[in-house]
């Protein structure tokens, strides 16, 4: 049990560092090659914040552990809204950018409903996974088109300036891109092996491990970035980071894993995990429109979100113990 635990801890640490370097290298390389800052913002925001989840879930699917892949994606979404936004709102009241409320949050709600519809028959087939990826690229294309033809900032446009490190030369950017990608793959493989070994040793399902330990670990970059953004009064980055990450988790992470290995899904995923994910997404939408303070997530709403995370995690622990 010691070696798997060390593999998980080392995998988490290396995963966070390599994902950061991979994003820096990708953004800087794109900038040197003349890619627009708008496209960098949209693509790197999504792939950057969800790179750990995507690679971990892909390796889990390749290793024949689709439940771990699905648990990682849905668990990360739940953690992003409840734990990450909850803690961020406790640190500082989060102002919700109008474009996020009008554009990105309704899209996230629609994507979450699509995920529930696909789970209804107890399976995510390869065709279902392809649909998710097609929807992903359609949304990305719409975001680029919308931002180019509107004076309002989009999710990608408002975050693009935060993405690329202008101090990197093209050669350095490519080197960090390659090193980051290789280490991202290696750390993900290490993390999946350790998590599966722990699950087998404790007699816990791979789905539960994915929803808890793996999801928490792959969400650490978002947690650090969102709290830092909130403390710097860049609340729109904190919320935009979570919305963008959840979109990519639902579409890209599950889509890639499903293309690799179609999944048989237990009924508890729909009735428990998806239901919680949908409920908190609706809750975030209502809070963003304003329950106590229009257009803001207040400290009390942050406490409510954090309480939801503790309640859900307690529910999962109860199912394991009982």
pLDDT at 174: 87
Question: What is the residue extent of each domain of the chain?
Answer: 2-321
3-state SS record for 100-156? HHHHHHHHHHHHHHHHHHHHCCCEECHHHHHHHHHHHHHHHHHHHHHHHCCCCCCHH
Q: Is the pLDDT of residue 37 over 80?
A: no
* pLDDT above 70: residue 263: yes
Q: Over range 293-307, report the average pLDDT.
A: 84
For the chain, the distance separating the N- and C-terminal CA atoms, rounded to the nearest angstrom, is: 23
Instruction: Name the packing angle between helices 275-289 and 105-119 (round to 10°).
Output: 160
pLDDT score of 108: 92
- The predicted model gives 166-195 an average pLDDT of 83
How big is the chain by its Cα radius of gyration, in Å? 19
The CA-atom distances, in angstroms, between 109 and each of 87, 115, 149, 250, 281 are 22, 10, 24, 11, 7
pLDDT, tens digit, 9 for 90 and up, residues 208-244: 988 988 888 778 767 766 766 666 666 556 677 788 8
pLDDT at position 49 is 65
Residues 6+ apart with CB under 8 A from 69: 56, 57, 58, 60, 61, 210, 253, 254, 257, 261, 263
Q: What is the mean pLDDT of residues 42-67?
A: 77
What pLDDT does 272 receive?
94
Which CATH superfamily, name and number, covers 2-321?
A: NCX, central ion-binding region (1.20.1420.30)
pLDDT at 132: 96
Report for 31-35, 38-42, 190-194: range of highest mean pLDDT: 190-194
Q: What percent of the chain has pLDDT over 90?
A: 29
Confidence (pTM): 0.81
Whole-number percent of the chain with pLDDT over 70: 79
Instruction: Give pLDDT tens digits for 96-143.
Output: 766 666 678 899 999 999 999 999 999 999 999 999 999 999 988 887
Structure tokens of 245?
A: 């990450």
Q: pLDDT at residue 1 above 70? A: yes
Spacing of C-alpha 255 from chain mean position: 13
């Amino acid at each position: 049990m010691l070696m798997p635990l060390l593999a998980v801890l080392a995998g988490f640490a290396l995963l966070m560092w390599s994902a950061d370097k991979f994003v820096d290298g990708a953004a800087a390389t794109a900038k040197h090659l003349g890619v627009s800052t708008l496209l960098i913002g949209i693509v790197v925001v999504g792939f950057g914040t969800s790179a750990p989840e995507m690679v971990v879930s892909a390796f889990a699917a390749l290793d024949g552990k689709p439940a771990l892949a699905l648990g990682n994606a849905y668990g990360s979404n739940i953690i992003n809204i409840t734990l990450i936004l909850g803690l961020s709102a406790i640190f500082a009241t989060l102002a919700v950018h109008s474009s996020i409320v009008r554009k990105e949050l309704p899209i996230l709600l629609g994507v979450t409903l699509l995920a529930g519809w696909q789970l209804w028959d107890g399976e995510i087939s390869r065709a279902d996974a392809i649909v998710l990826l097609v929807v992903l690229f359609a949304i990305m294309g719409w975001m680029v088109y919308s931002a180019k033809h509107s004076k309002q900032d989009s999710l990608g446009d408002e975050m693009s300036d935060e993405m690329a490190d202008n101090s990197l030369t093209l050669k350095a950017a490519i080197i960090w891109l390659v090193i980051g990608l290789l280490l991202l793959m290696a750390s993900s493989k290490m993390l999946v092996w350790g998590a599966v070994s722990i699950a087998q040793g404790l007699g816990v399902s791979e789905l539960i491990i994915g929803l808890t330990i793996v999801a928490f670990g792959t969400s650490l970059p978002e947690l650090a970035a969102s709290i830092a953004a909130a403390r710097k009064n860049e609340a729109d980055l904190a919320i935009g980071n979570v919305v963008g990450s959840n979109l990519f988790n639902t579409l890209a992470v599950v889509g890639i894993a499903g293309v690799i290995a179609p999944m048989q899904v237990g009924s508890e995923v729909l009735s428990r995990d998806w239901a919680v994910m949908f409920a908190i997404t609706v809750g975030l939408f209502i809070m963003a429109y304003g329950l106590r303070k229009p257009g803001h997530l207040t400290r009390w709403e942050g406490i409510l979100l954090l309480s939801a995370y503790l309640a859900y995690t307690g529910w999962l622990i109860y199912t394991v113990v009982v």
